[in-house]
Amino acid sequence: MLGFFSRHKQWEVSSIPDLTGRVAIVTGGNTGLGYITVRELARKGARVYMLSRTETRALAAIEKIKGELGPDLKPEIEYINFDLLSLKSAKTAAEEFLRRETRLDILVNNAGIMATPYELSPDGIEIQACNGTGHFALTFSLLPLLKDTAAMPDSHVRIVNISSGGYMAAHAGTPDFSSLEGLNQKTWSTWVRYGMSKLTNILLTNELQKRLDESGTTNIYCLSVHPGGVATELSRGTKRLPDFLFLPNLRRCSGPLQSWPFLAPLSRVVRFLLLTPEQGALTQLYAATSPEVEEKNLKAALLFPVAQPKSKTSLAEDKDGKLGGQFWTLCEALMRQKA
């Protein structure tokens, strides 16, 4: 959803309630939407764990956030290593967190890979598919603590999976999550693979919410979020593709493309239309903190910016639970093999 379409009064970060005493995890928190999410949760008093792959970047981001918030707030932000491409890394990150904490109130699965050429991770998983498998491994490993926290007085446990409106590109392919071969299938476009991975984020949300409710843990709220078209580093995955195939890259075109006369004005238009990270993070911050999530019973909801429930396509709705069940079962098998 482009920024200028949101004319009505919208939810703002000032609406985040006091989070003192709560503990949060944000994956990919050293840049973009994750950075803003870490900062605003910490601003409101949560102890926040930034789970990122590169320690130097994460620690630099933490110091930058502390500088932005100022010494009076004394924000509590810690780092744990997490590589989305490695199931073992996800499990290890969860184990490290469990050694440090006795509760987890907010889990924001924010890290992501977008529109990369076909490549397999060290686990043998197509790297964009790791958007789903990596976050499954982390979430699954943290589920016991999330349930324990939900049993505590005045708990408001949220699991927020950052998807994308791009999940609809999955309709141009044939989703099959019954096997690793199906998950790793080559499609006619990298954007279809990206759509498949973002579809799995929604399917995970659906399946997790169903399993929690059926187990009697009914006060954990799982949501999927499309942040909108945001100017972040997520587009760095497209660097090996022609720049004109992904509009945000137009602002850093080099070489012969610069001579194309339409690119300069088009680049300015694109920059105007894209949301800032501050704007793009609003919907996931709403999902993670707003009391309205419980008041409106937004279980397994898909939110578009800003904080608006959106109907899912038939694939994402997955009414019979076939795709979600396939993905869950496959991820469990992959964890046994790889983690």
Cite the active site residues: 194, 198
Q: Are strands 301-304 and 308-309 parallel, antiparallel or unpaired?
A: antiparallel
Which two structure tokens, joined as six digits, stand for 142?
């943290």
243/235 Cα distance (integer angstroms): 10
Beta strand residue intervals within the chain, DSSP E: 23-27, 47-52, 76-81, 106-109, 157-162, 220-225, 301-304, 308-309
Structural contact between residues 202 and 322, judged by C-beta atoms closer than 8 angstroms: no
> At residue 331, what is the residue type?
C
301/155 Cα distance (integer angstroms): 20
Structural contact between residues 286 and 160, judged by C-beta atoms closer than 8 angstroms: no
Which residue in this structure is represented by tokens 């339409």?
262
Beta bridge partners of 158: 106, 221
Contacts of 314 (CB under 8 A, 6+ apart): none
Which residue in this structure is represented by tokens 């397999």?
120
Structural contact between residues 253 and 267, judged by C-beta atoms closer than 8 angstroms: yes
Half-sphere exposure of 97 (CA within 13 A, CB side): 34
